[in-house]
Amino acid sequence: MTSMDKVDFSDVRWGSVEWTNLCTLYLRSYESHSPAPILGDEAAADAVDRIDYDWARMRRHMRPAFNQYLVAMRAKQIDDWSADFLSRHPDAVILHLGCGMDARASRLHPPATVQWFDVDQPNVIALRRRLYDDRAGYRTIGSSVTDEAWLDDIPTDHPMLMVAEGLLMYLTEPDVRALLQRLTDRFGSGELVFDTLSPLGPRLSKMFTKGIVKWGIRDAREMERWNPRLRLLDRGAVGARFERIPSKPVRLLWRLVNATPVRNFDVLNRFAF
């Protein structure tokens, strides 16, 4: 496929769970045009150029001048934790769950010895394959992460990193528990990197986004009690890097967010097992 081909995504229903990956893609693309980007995801900008979608409506809806930084700060912290894992485990298996259109594998340039799997719902992976090809060491899997069968194809004799950015809140709590249990049952060791919303997330979603957000947790350390193999290594508010925001008024706004309990609305977590 050449970069000139336009790919039609008009069948992604506005407001659906699948649509949320176009929101984050759009925000990463927008942020890549910032004079001093935090993430600088040029692959996202390239993807938005190639996808035929109502981006003007997306721009009105997403308020990118503010929200671009949320997504950029979140993705950057997750990239840094992932890069750190890759530097310690160059033979790792990476499970990038709810990948949407995110080109994290290209941003991180994993060594050829890494086996990377991008997993999302079958319809999202079908769209993704219109943009990106599978290659040596990189495969896409179209399945709900709540199904068990997709894991049967994954080699389990390597250290494993699960990355789930903007995913677990769309699952129910029993599904989150079962997914993490399946991973720790199958793999000898690894790390799990994901963000969690506070319990306010599903409540707000009932009012504003038709209940697509299903799960929130006040303190992710509680997950150590769900599964005794899990150890919380690190966590932080999604806006922790606000000092790097180039726009002064937006930086100020994030400084305020970080000075209040609102900072705990979306939290980044890193667990080991």
Ligand X SMILES: C[S@@+](CC[C@H](N)C(=O)[O-])C[C@H]1O[C@@H](n2cnc3c(N)ncnc32)[C@H](O)[C@@H]1O
Q: Using CA atoms, how far apart are residues 21 and 194, in angstroms rounded to an integer?
A: 15
In the complex, the smallest distance separating the C-beta of residue 253 from ligand X, rounded to whole angstroms, is 22
How many angstroms separate the first and last alpha carbons of the chain? 40
Calculate helix-pair angle for 55-62, 20-32, nearest 10 degrees.
80
Calculate helix-pair angle for 64-88, 20-32, nearest 10 degrees.
90
The alpha carbon of 262 is separated from its chain's Cα centroid by a whole number of angstroms, namely 20
Residue 76 neighbours by CB distance under 10 Å: 19
Nearer residue to ligand X within complex by CB, 50 or 221? 50
Nearer residue to ligand X within complex by CB, 98 or 201? 98
Nearer residue to ligand X within complex by CB, 61 or 221? 61
Q: Using CA atoms, how far apart are residues 272 and 234, in angstroms rounded to an integer?
A: 9
Nearer residue to ligand X within complex by CB, 98 or 159? 98
Q: Using CA atoms, how far apart are residues 92 and 189, in angstroms rounded to an integer?
A: 10
In the complex, the smallest distance separating the C-beta of residue 25 from ligand X, rounded to whole angstroms, is 6
Nearer residue to ligand X within complex by CB, 165 or 191? 165
In the complex, the smallest distance separating the C-beta of residue 248 from ligand X, rounded to whole angstroms, is 27
Q: Using CA atoms, how far apart are residues 245 and 165, in angstroms rounded to an integer?
A: 21
Name which of 221, 212, 245, 194 is nearest 69 in CA terms. 245
In the complex, the smallest distance separating the C-beta of residue 266 from ligand X, rounded to whole angstroms, is 11
In the complex, the smallest distance separating the C-beta of residue 101 from ligand X, rounded to whole angstroms, is 6
Nearer residue to ligand X within complex by CB, 114 or 238? 238
Nearer residue to ligand X within complex by CB, 27 or 245? 27
In the complex, the smallest distance separating the C-beta of residue 135 from ligand X, rounded to whole angstroms, is 20
151 φψ region: left (φ > 0), alpha (ψ -120 to 50), beta (else) = alpha
Q: Are 270 and 106 in contact (CB under 8 A)?
A: no
In the complex, the smallest distance separating the C-beta of residue 106 from ligand X, rounded to whole angstroms, is 13
Q: What kind and span of H or E run contains 131?
A: helix 122-131
Residue 33 neighbours by CB distance under 10 Å: 12
Positions touching ligand X (CB under 6 A) are: 17-18, 20-21, 24-25, 98-100, 102, 120-121, 124, 144-146, 165-167, 170-171
